[in-house]
Structure 1
């Protein structure tokens, strides 16, 4: 057993485990420092020869990476803007004629994205008039004369998948330490709206949409936009959003679809005659996977189209009739095209590898080819074309550090098992080299409506850390996960911590029976809903030797009154917070803290509005009162999940040490009593 750290120590920088984890990340990222090591937001050039994208650049293990406008073509990867600049650039989009790339930049004010237009050949930049807020997304008009801008007020909420907190972090650094945080409800800076930039006039104008908060929008013909809207800008209002056509000339906002569930990824044909949107049971904004609803204004029809059992995560009209889509089916990523004229759907690609970030996305051309960021657990991200069902690599982002971490992080395989009620459950299993049984860590995904995919960053960076140290890591996709249809996704609503509890436990049983997992060395972790389940499972079953819930919910009642998404817990629990009984009490881990015997490390961030840090603290205090070893670690400045260095190093060191302390890789080594449980202050 390696030297153990005192879990109550606030500053670990002198600890051997901290140094080991820092070396791991340095070995991983160091060879790529200063270069492009990650990619998001691909945009296909109309001629099919180049891919514009947002490149991720690190210069050290400090803070967040920088994001820059980049281009991949037959000559490799190049940056299109000043490589020495410290700005962040996002959202690249080729113009329809391929002569320009629109993107956003925070060059004027850090964190505030504004529109810039670039010439991809000369590199010449064209600044545009500022909008009131920060630009979150953009889209060229079909004729290339205007650009639609989705703009958020500076106090608007980030979605949980984006880290929670405000769109632009506050100005605390400029204020004395004694100045309080103040909240008085909704203000003008919380709203999201639409602006239009006119290239010929070099002017921007806000689209009037009085009383509507616009979460997503796209062009719907030359004179309107199709938008997902609500009557309040609060993050919880997204769960009740509808679909509207907003006229650019006036304030008309025609309601075109009221969903059964949540909406995402609106798309409209060039003329606006046909519209489409994904309708799904969802737990997070920007994390929407479900059925495709197509509205034909000429025929006056609204239909859910056939997608071959795919939960769709991306939509794009290729022309007036053909609708391209991407999505998930089980553990596969799938692409297809639906012809709205004939009603026929054609699957064009399926793979156990994937593309995109949280969910599959790509940038399609009219011929059906698509630009994507392709990866798997064993394939470092690469810019690639999907053509005629084949992935053609344009430029890989691999380097010596990526090669090393791939070599030490074992292998991944798909697994499936049967829950006690006969439901088949799928998952992905990462195992180190050598023969089992291994100590097993169950890594529960967030949402709960989301799903693990065979992705380069499967399960988070700490998964490769665990596997490199000899742990097997199971990534289950229980009921509630995407990729199995809306009935499967909806099975968790009204029953969180119910039937899905058995999905996890039966998965452990299956791996023990296979000889993969040692039943005496089982741990559990996860973030968000995964953090909730990591806390819940140890109240329901005594087999767990250690638990690390991250950004958890532990008390649904206090969650309702401190979170920025109180509507969601009512939706998930199918109950209300009032009264002394019901699911708010029956499904809260803190209610059953007296049952727990599992040593627990809780991790949270001070800026998390989705699952506030008080949730971790509440369960920690309950465990201490029950005599259970518990440590609570709250990272300043972090939101819904730890995302910046060196906090990631500290988190990795604490997580590894906790599991090594209570389920060591080498069996038979007695677990030390360790120091008494400590409280870790922010």
Structure 2
């Protein structure tokens, strides 16, 4: 059985009405003798299963869900790929789970038909997703509904079960072509093209037999030259950039994309009807029933003729099946309304609300509104936390949701009429990763310190869990796990900091061990004792004989708006002092070797790791992953560039802001970095950009400092979470080897 260390169960510091939460910790059996096989290894990443998308059947007896695993290629041993399958299990767990989909293509987004006799889902074929339906009776065989060239995803059954709503993403050129074939073609003139002084490219960009002659006449008319240039641009050589959001997360993004909604009969190879033509990009669509018939509610850019790159507002829209244009049902300037979720009778919509004027420091709220746009109310005004994932109770009287809170992801519920304060159902020792709600029970993907992903049944009346799957617990049965212990610290300015300390998996009395201090990204991210994304990494280092310390410094989410705003114009000094104070506290443990401290962080955590070693020399070695090291350069090369105006109050060309950006850039303090530093980045990481890591590496090489630079081919900013499995294993082993060089082991 898994061996775990007991930890105190922390309560969420919320209003008294929330203190009714019942907190549970699963402890997995007796301790056993140490053996190499019981240690979590880097290769155990390949054993880890990620569960998601649970959905309870309409009759409340079954659950479908997804399992994402890493599979080795039979043709090319040593090469690995992610595969997602759909599984089904009785809600009571009796009889165990059954795998529903197989094959090389992944399957995801399972949704129940109202009758409960079939599911719709998304299957990927040659990387293109399409909607399929799988009958669940004897001999049922899946059949394909869509054959959309760009793919189809996010299926939703109509309330009567006769139609499927889905989405597909088109480029600007494809939207133009779509318009050219529609009676609304005249509305093309409303498109806010941002190409200064240049006519829009002609629609006639296809290669023709006359191209050679036209090329020979390039010194002819201006019209012929422009037509030649348009054809070259349409072929992607060169890529011409005119938009504000010209950088994506992994490549340049010269052309805008729009997600459109379609509806199709639930029949094999059905013809689809376009619901949202034009320059709206729809998200989170749901069916509603109104007196004038069924409609679809979705979130999209706010109304207007401003280029969508410059529009951050999101409105709720409604569209019918009669071909009429969509209309807004909820719009407020400087607000984003997202995640519309229909009530069981499809007459009321729950939604999420963000005040954009607060520049990412505001806390996401939950609201409800009638399907026709009337009777709006906010339900979570008393919770100073970011809420997410709304779902309705089976009787439509309550809305469930999760929130980031004090290092955890608890589950809440609130009455839909707003007549009572929200009630918290779970605590931070059991993080809810995904869930669904039935009449008497819920189904949750639970992340615990001893197991990062497993399916549990939640009894709504008693708030008790029951484990019903063993996708990870089976292989973890013989593994030894070290559980985080919460620590709290009050600083001299009265800032309160949560941290967690993980002991080495096997701790010998009287022996001292190195301590790895890990820093999360964001800066508005949050870690806690059940963080599934870091579970394997932390357990790997604990098994290698490290203690691990992580904390939520000022700027982290999960502690309210004021705490989150603590990093405004203060990316370096304040959060660094919090991390170092937590480190000082951890060093009072008798098993911590204060002469063997190492440091690591990713994204914003990479920034803060580099900042700390530029101002403090206690660490023997440090790793800065996919970080930001020159803030002014990041403004130009990173897809997350809005962090600069949001978090520093302006732009690099403004003198005060530029001085602040320079002062708080780790590159500006490179001369003071003497700690051995490993800089890691992915070749295709454009969220933060690679030029800054090159600049920091070059600076430290010129200064003749101990520095190494690791670049992973084809890797993006998601390397540590969903990147190539072999690269993920490589980075863990590489970090461990780098640390041991300098701590003398």
Superposition pairs of residues 87-166 of structure 1, within 5 angstroms? 87-107=105-125, 110-122=126-138, 123-153=140-170
The answer to whether residue 412 in structure 2 is matched with residue 336 in structure 1 is: yes
Q: Secondary structure at the match of 1:513?
A: coil
| Structure 1: stretches of 5+ with no match in the other structure | 1-19, 157-178, 667-682
Quick one: distance in 2 between partners of 1:387 and 1:98?
22
Cα offset, 1:304, TM superposition: 4.8
Quick one: distance in 2 between partners of 1:304 and 1:568?
29
TM-score, with structure 2 as normaliser: 0.74
Q: Identify if the C-alpha distance between structure 1 residues 211 and 180 changes in structure 2 by more than 3 Å, giving closer, same or farther.
A: closer
Cα offset, 1:308, TM superposition: 5.0
Quick one: distance in 2 between partners of 1:283 and 1:135?
35
Residue 624 (structure 1) aligns with = 701
The answer to whether residue 498 in structure 2 is matched with residue 426 in structure 1 is: yes
Quick one: distance in 2 between partners of 1:618 and 1:333?
38
Q: Identify if the C-alpha distance between structure 1 residues 576 and 219 changes in structure 2 by more than 3 Å, giving closer, same or farther.
A: farther
Residue 301 (structure 2) aligns with = 229
The answer to whether residue 451 in structure 2 is matched with residue 379 in structure 1 is: yes
Quick one: distance in 2 between partners of 1:154 and 1:651?
35
Quick one: distance in 2 between partners of 1:635 and 1:231?
42
Cα offset, 1:614, TM superposition: 2.2
Residue 658 (structure 1) aligns with = 738
Cα offset, 1:622, TM superposition: 1.5
> C-alpha deviations, 1:456-511, integer Å up to 9, x for none?
63525332221111111112112222222233223323332242222211111111
Higher Rg: 2
Quick one: distance in 2 between partners of 1:155 and 1:639?
25
Cα offset, 1:154, TM superposition: 7.8
Quick one: distance in 2 between partners of 1:261 and 1:500?
29
In 1, are the aligned partners of 2:167 and 2:261 still within 8 Å (CA)? yes
Residue 479 (structure 1) aligns with = 554
Q: Secondary structure at the match of 1:396?
A: coil
In 2, are the aligned partners of 1:539 and 1:593 still within 8 Å (CA)? yes
Q: Identify if the C-alpha distance between structure 1 residues 45 and 551 changes in structure 2 by more than 3 Å, giving closer, same or farther.
A: same
The answer to whether residue 104 in structure 2 is matched with residue 86 in structure 1 is: yes
> C-alpha deviations, 1:43-66, integer Å up to 9, x for none?
122222222111123333533321
Quick one: distance in 1 between partners of 2:282 and 2:545?
47
Quick one: distance in 1 between partners of 2:172 and 2:700?
36
> C-alpha deviations, 1:528-555, integer Å up to 9, x for none?
1111211222122222221111111111
Cα offset, 1:193, TM superposition: 2.5
Residue 258 (structure 1) aligns with = 332
Quick one: distance in 2 between partners of 1:331 and 1:312?
14
Of the structure 1 ranges 554-563 and 197-206, higher mean CA displacement relative to structure 2 is found in 197-206
Quick one: distance in 2 between partners of 1:447 and 1:241?
22
Q: Secondary structure at the match of 1:59?
A: strand
Quick one: distance in 1 between partners of 2:122 and 2:592?
48
Q: Identify if the C-alpha distance between structure 1 residues 265 and 300 changes in structure 2 by more than 3 Å, giving closer, same or farther.
A: closer
The answer to whether residue 476 in structure 2 is matched with residue 402 in structure 1 is: yes
Quick one: distance in 2 between partners of 1:391 and 1:488?
32
Quick one: distance in 2 between partners of 1:650 and 1:379?
23
Please, which of 570, 575, 579 is the counterpart of residue 500 of structure 1? Answer: 575
Residue 364 (structure 1) aligns with = 437
TM-score, with structure 1 as normaliser: 0.81
Cα offset, 1:654, TM superposition: 1.1
In 1, are the aligned partners of 2:335 and 2:353 still within 8 Å (CA)? no
Q: Secondary structure at the match of 2:612?
A: helix
Cα offset, 1:29, TM superposition: 5.6
> C-alpha deviations, 1:80-101, integer Å up to 9, x for none?
12x3x11111111222321221
The answer to whether residue 271 in structure 2 is matched with residue 195 in structure 1 is: no
In 2, are the aligned partners of 1:575 and 1:584 still within 8 Å (CA)? no
Q: Identify if the C-alpha distance between structure 1 residues 354 and 228 changes in structure 2 by more than 3 Å, giving closer, same or farther.
A: farther
In 2, are the aligned partners of 1:52 and 1:70 still within 8 Å (CA)? yes
Residue 168 (structure 1) aligns with = none
| Structure 2: stretches of 5+ with no match in the other structure | 1-35, 73-77, 174-235, 247-252
In 1, are the aligned partners of 2:391 and 2:399 still within 8 Å (CA)? yes
Cα offset, 1:373, TM superposition: 1.4
Q: Identify if the C-alpha distance between structure 1 residues 539 and 381 changes in structure 2 by more than 3 Å, giving closer, same or farther.
A: same
The answer to whether residue 66 in structure 2 is matched with residue 54 in structure 1 is: yes
In 2, are the aligned partners of 1:101 and 1:119 still within 8 Å (CA)? yes
Q: Secondary structure at the match of 1:569?
A: helix
Q: Identify if the C-alpha distance between structure 1 residues 298 and 104 changes in structure 2 by more than 3 Å, giving closer, same or farther.
A: closer
In 1, are the aligned partners of 2:133 and 2:144 still within 8 Å (CA)? yes
Cα offset, 1:522, TM superposition: 1.9
Cα offset, 1:340, TM superposition: 2.4
In 2, are the aligned partners of 1:263 and 1:288 still within 8 Å (CA)? no
Q: Identify if the C-alpha distance between structure 1 residues 264 and 662 changes in structure 2 by more than 3 Å, giving closer, same or farther.
A: farther
Q: Secondary structure at the match of 1:646?
A: helix
Of the structure 1 ranges 229-238 and 251-260, higher mean CA displacement relative to structure 2 is found in 229-238
Of the structure 1 ranges 98-107 and 326-335, higher mean CA displacement relative to structure 2 is found in 326-335
The answer to whether residue 619 in structure 2 is matched with residue 539 in structure 1 is: no
Residue 25 (structure 2) aligns with = none
Q: Identify if the C-alpha distance between structure 1 residues 478 and 26 changes in structure 2 by more than 3 Å, giving closer, same or farther.
A: closer
> C-alpha deviations, 1:287-331, integer Å up to 9, x for none?
997322334567644435256555322101235442111223213
Quick one: distance in 1 between partners of 2:357 and 2:165?
26
Quick one: distance in 1 between partners of 2:307 and 2:429?
32
Quick one: distance in 2 between partners of 1:47 and 1:656?
51
Quick one: distance in 2 between partners of 1:652 and 1:347?
40
Q: Identify if the C-alpha distance between structure 1 residues 561 and 410 changes in structure 2 by more than 3 Å, giving closer, same or farther.
A: same
Q: Secondary structure at the match of 2:668?
A: helix
Residue 541 (structure 2) aligns with = 466
Q: Secondary structure at the match of 1:577?
A: coil
Q: Secondary structure at the match of 1:590?
A: helix
> C-alpha deviations, 1:438-467, integer Å up to 9, x for none?
322121112121211333635253322211
Superposition pairs of residues 280-291 of structure 1, within 5 angstroms? 290-291=364-365
Please, which of 198, 204, 212 is the counterpart of residue 280 of structure 2? Answer: 212
Quick one: distance in 2 between partners of 1:283 and 1:535?
28
Quick one: distance in 2 between partners of 1:452 and 1:282?
26
